[in-house]
Structure 1
Amino acid sequence: MSLIRNFIILLVLFAIASISGLFYWAGQPMDTDGKPVDFTIKPGSSVRSASRQIQEAGVPAPAFFFELLARATGKANKLKAGSYELLPEKTPYQLLDKIVNGEFSQGAVVVIEGWTFAQMRKAVDSNPDIKHDTKLLSDAELMKKINSEKNTPEGLFFPDTYLFPKGSSDLQVFQQAYVAQVKKLNEAWQSRAEGLPYKNSYEALIMASIIEKETGQKAERSMISAVFTNRLRTGMLLQTDPTVIYGLGERYQGKIHKKDLLADTPYNTYTRAGLPPTPIALPGLASLMAALNPAKSDALYFVARGDGTSVFSDNLNDHNRAVNKYQR
């Protein structure tokens, strides 16, 4: 009996020592050579499989010990699949808590005001931290995927910085940007000035995209909006170069020529009256607000001074004088 008792005591002491050693190890900073380590836990992974994936990614945490720690702390069934980043000097305890809490590492896509949707797609498609589920989809197919009633995506995505857990679907970014733009457009539409020459909020979005591309100084957005809304009211042609450039597509090589202004396309506002059929860029909030709240002005013309600002005129003679002074 004494032998059995002694054996049991030894087992208990060994267990206590092992557990003590485990928890001591779990509280020590891991050596990552001062560099962060990225790793991913696949969906449906068991604690054993997850521990193996963590070790194989280069995290200095032996799979057996990490699994044992997760089981000993009752967290073996609480690990969340996803992409993570282990920072230097973190302990196995902190690593386990990060995974249990789902503190995923984040990627980012920056969408710039005035970009076209094609430029946005290029930025998303080239992002290494995202899952490219839409890369082979047409624009119309992508719009259907995010439950939009529109087939044409231009203008319908809000320019901003979008954060996402690494490994997320790119649909998440497109959905988030689309919802944000629709919300901001609807809110701006509700606070619009009276008597605007728009049939609906989509026409206001088209105008906002033109303002976005025409504005050199942010403070001039409302005046540029006044010029174009005044022209719409009086039936004048908008005659704005950015719409012509958009209509040229890949034929535009950085300079617009007289023949381009004469070549009719649905976006040539020198040959066609009214607004173009779609936005020509992704407008930001300031341009949306300017399109729906133009300055109170009779201006019908503007010309760039060359320093980013513009001269506004309400008659052709004054405009021609400004053109002669600043452009010729």
Structure 2
Amino acid sequence: MIKTIKTFFLASLIPLFTVVCLGGYWLVSGLIAYQKQPLQLTEIQTLTVEPGTSVIKLAQQLEQQSLITDSWKVKYLVKLEPKLAHIKTGLYQMIPGDTLEALLKRLYLGQQVVFSITLIEGKTITEWQQTLSTTEHLAKNTDDFNQVLLQNGDTSGLPEGKFYPETFHYHADDNLQTILNRSYTMMQLSLAQAWEGRDPDLALSSPYELLIIASIIEKETGKPEERDWVSAVFNNRLKKGMRLQTDPTVIYGMGERYKGNITRKDLREATAFNTYKIDGLPPTPIAAPSRASLFAAANPAKVNYLYFVSRNDGSHVFSSTLKAHNNAVNEFQRKRK
């Protein structure tokens, strides 16, 4: 009798077990199908995950925006895949064709939207600040450059030329000082390398003087093949005690007064940056030099040039004598031979 009851009991459990198994199978299959459904997107959108946001709350927000349906299923989806619960804060991108699975994977991996900012070589701190002022999703202050100097033990208050021009990547609401710290460190490393490998015959006494000359080279020519020749002209002039007489320093000294032309009055004006009036170097760099200009400044070409003049096509004529230089000026600047 007892055996019969046991047999009956076990036999009755089989259908129940089958139902449970089938129910579990259909639930799992349904959840898998659910997370593979595309989001209801017709264009790229951004999604901000605030601190403290749970994946359940996020799913509810997505449903309120009509991007998904049946957000309650996410509660069971997380039980199926617990890692999906560990979403990271930040700004993310949702693209047409994205599935809920793809979005949640992006969130728990922390694959935030990546922004970029380019600090262009040959530009001044003021010009960089104008660019940075319009940069979105980047926490910044008006005194970030000087703050970075202080953080690195530089109390000079002279940021010009001390930051490396490069493209930097960041996430939403990253701090500008973090980027500028990287830029500052990169410039110090490049400057140290250039100074260490400098020509023994270089007429400069410090890495900072090298930085100044490199900034002038950067402004004088954009042609890679000319950089070491321009460097040679400045180095030769310094060794002979000649003034640099370079227009970019005059322009820098004019500041906002510069409107595209330099007059004779400007060349006669006594400013700290007018190298037609002062001996030696200006007091600071006049722009951000590239790595190529740093190394050109450290290793001038072995030529005896003392002058150069623009051909008005980006290139220059280099001369060793004043007579040859004047002839080149007449030909390319005064338009007579």
TM-score (norm 2): 0.86
Q: Map of 1:159-178 to 2, 5 A cutoff?
A: 159-178=165-184
Query: Structure 1 pair 171/258, CA: closer, same or farther in 2 (3 Å)?
Result: same
Q: Please say if residues 32 and 60 of structure 1, whose CA atoms lie closer than 8 Å, have aligned partners that are also in contact.
A: no
Query: Structure 1 pair 123/145, CA: closer, same or farther in 2 (3 Å)?
Result: farther
> What is the percent sequence identity of the aligned residues?
38
Is residue 93 of structure 2 the alignment partner of residue 85 of structure 1? yes
Q: Quote the offset at 1:53 in angstroms.
A: 5.5
Cα distance in 2 for partners of 1:80, 1:61 equals: 22
Cα distance in 2 for partners of 1:83, 1:174 equals: 22
Q: Considering only aligned residues, what root-mean-square deviation do their CA atoms show, in Å? A: 2.8
Is residue 211 of structure 2 the alignment partner of residue 202 of structure 1? no
Aligned counterpart, 1:123: 131
Count of residue pairs brought into register by the alignment: 324
Cα distance in 1 for partners of 2:138, 2:86 equals: 24
Q: Quote the offset at 1:44 in angstroms.
A: 3.8
Out of 96, 105, 108, the residue aligned to residue 113 of structure 2 is 105
Q: Please say if residues 196 and 229 of structure 1, whose CA atoms lie closer than 8 Å, have aligned partners that are also in contact.
A: yes
Aligned counterpart, 2:34: 25
Aligned counterpart, 1:296: 302
Q: Quote the offset at 1:158 in angstroms.
A: 1.6
Q: In terms of mean alpha carbon deviation, does 242-251 or 312-321 score higher? A: 312-321
SS in 1 for 2:83: coil
SS in 2 for 1:31: coil
Cα distance in 1 for partners of 2:154, 2:221 equals: 29
Query: Structure 1 pair 188/54, CA: closer, same or farther in 2 (3 Å)?
Result: farther
Cα distance in 2 for partners of 1:187, 1:11 equals: 71
Q: Quote the offset at 1:108 in angstroms.
A: 1.0
Aligned counterpart, 1:70: 78
Cα distance in 1 for partners of 2:148, 2:70 equals: 43
Q: Quote the offset at 1:212 in angstroms.
A: 0.5
Corresponding letter in the other structure for 1:320: N
Cα distance in 1 for partners of 2:273, 2:122 equals: 17
Corresponding letter in the other structure for 1:107: F
Q: Please say if residues 237 and 269 of structure 1, whose CA atoms lie closer than 8 Å, have aligned partners that are also in contact.
A: yes
Aligned counterpart, 2:331: 325
SS in 2 for 1:75: helix
Q: Quote the offset at 1:139 in angstroms.
A: 4.3
Query: Structure 1 pair 212/111, CA: closer, same or farther in 2 (3 Å)?
Result: same
Unaligned runs of 5+ in 1: none
SS in 1 for 2:91: strand
Query: Structure 1 pair 146/305, CA: closer, same or farther in 2 (3 Å)?
Result: same
Out of 239, 242, 261, the residue aligned to residue 248 of structure 2 is 242
Aligned counterpart, 1:272: 278
Unaligned runs of 5+ in 2: 1-8
Query: Structure 1 pair 49/190, CA: closer, same or farther in 2 (3 Å)?
Result: farther
Aligned counterpart, 1:211: 217
Cα distance in 1 for partners of 2:53, 2:109 equals: 16
Aligned counterpart, 2:266: 260
**For the pair shown, which has the larger CA radius of gyration, 1 or 2?**
2
Cα distance in 2 for partners of 1:264, 1:226 equals: 26
Query: Structure 1 pair 176/257, CA: closer, same or farther in 2 (3 Å)?
Result: same
Query: Structure 1 pair 124/196, CA: closer, same or farther in 2 (3 Å)?
Result: same
Q: Quote the offset at 1:116 in angstroms.
A: 1.0
Query: Structure 1 pair 152/28, CA: closer, same or farther in 2 (3 Å)?
Result: same
TM-score (norm 1): 0.88
Q: Deviations over 1:164-193 (max 9, x none)?
A: 123322222222222222222222222221
Q: Quote the offset at 1:244 in angstroms.
A: 0.9
Corresponding letter in the other structure for 1:201: P
Q: In terms of mean alpha carbon deviation, does 281-290 or 19-28 score higher? A: 19-28
Q: Quote the offset at 1:8 in angstroms.
A: 9.6
